[in-house]
Structure 1
């Protein structure tokens, strides 16, 4: 006798599969077939960014699992608050899901912009992309290490131009490392950008001495930059030869605290999870299967997009932990 998980049973019911293992009454007991019509995926950013590319690359494999087409709905603006609000205003019946950099954007819209929602309105399904702040200089820089950066800025905080996006996890990480190193942040030569893309291009093009921005977005530009440090306790697979902020802590004798960068992936509303638990389980099962599909992994990795399956429990816990970290240091971002 084959053992079926509850998610698998629900998947069969949703697809209307005729199986001799389950009587019709058992299938009916699992709830109505779902989904029965197309779905929308809200991306609270303009087209072309990481989340938009992630959504469009993943959708064909999720459609295959759910048996329904999925359309991308881009609703950018106000640091994702417009898209987040639009998403929550839709009927929470599972036909609208979201692909978003939930952290740091959802926490920051709440903590800095008085957004009309809370972190508890969102339920993560899977956050495959776990970005980190990367300090990167132009490829032809004379800087040899981040320790040298610290030395120069200690001697003269205006000796290097620093590119960063305001009100971001990257900006917070920059402030935290400067504080740990005893560098006067009020005297810095900061160059601010409206997004991660322009900040990365500034480093690659030599317009600033160093940019502090999400490392995953630097992967297509790695031949044009010199990575100096990743903001993480340990080295990361994407840049295995680059020192971590944990290693810098040992080098300068001061603890360098850091917060995780963008946490990107799939989310629904808490209301949907609570009101339609059967549908929620079907959707989670579909996302897990699509995430583990070898063709999906090959396709997304070919576009330098993340596919790792963490699952709802771990993803939600990490999302809330990131919120708490940002809340603890919010004064540095005001």
Structure 2
């Protein structure tokens, strides 16, 4: 759906188009090579956020470059595109490494004549300017598993082999009902589809509240990719989804365990620095005139509440190793 369109059909998330892998052995894809790739993200995007978190927690900042697009997509040729701007560190609106203004240019360098959607995050090969992958979930898993020799000392194992079945089962529920559910509610074309989405969404939040009432992290005794899939949605919930997307039965702040968990991770080294609330709110409220035609960006909620005591250490799990 275009940013300025009023929803007229059910929200569906198209599969990612570029899905090549970066593997430690370089087989059937691209090789792990420090300095070769540039990860293009938008700070407002929760799908970008989970990959940025992995990069931060694993200490891959020196191995994989990071580039940020402007908070708001630019209208070019009748379509809205992720572009680089002065605001996000690109002089003259041109990424200083890739030499492009719009991310779509990298898509076209990869597949001339490409007419599909352009999404973030996107991992771009710097020498060729081609998109390696815009598959946010595979990028997350590959950072956790294929880039191990570049991980910092003491980096957490975000995808332990013995917990993967449990991680994926829980993640499947979260993706369908919560991560993507907020969009199905926000872009619902009818009252019925909205109510269905909201019912499933808060059913999932209730389940997570119960789960996190007795454990510090979603799976196991430290942070895993399950947490990196959930937390970007939670950190945006009260600021964006509760108001703009009408997911307003309850706030995250109204759930004792979920709110404590959100603050716990925010206060864990490596998390807070990946959040930019001004960018997040502008990306959604200003960048989606189809559902917010006034483009007014709200002042709240109070971000300082995230620094309040959370009491989660009493649950006894290991905190994430500082990044």
Larger Rg: 1
* Structure richer in helix, relative to its length: 1
When you count strand as a share of all residues, which structure comes out higher? 1
**By the TM > 0.5 criterion, same fold?**
no
Which has the higher relative contact order, 1 or 2, with Cα contacts under 8 A spaced 6 or more apart?
A: 1
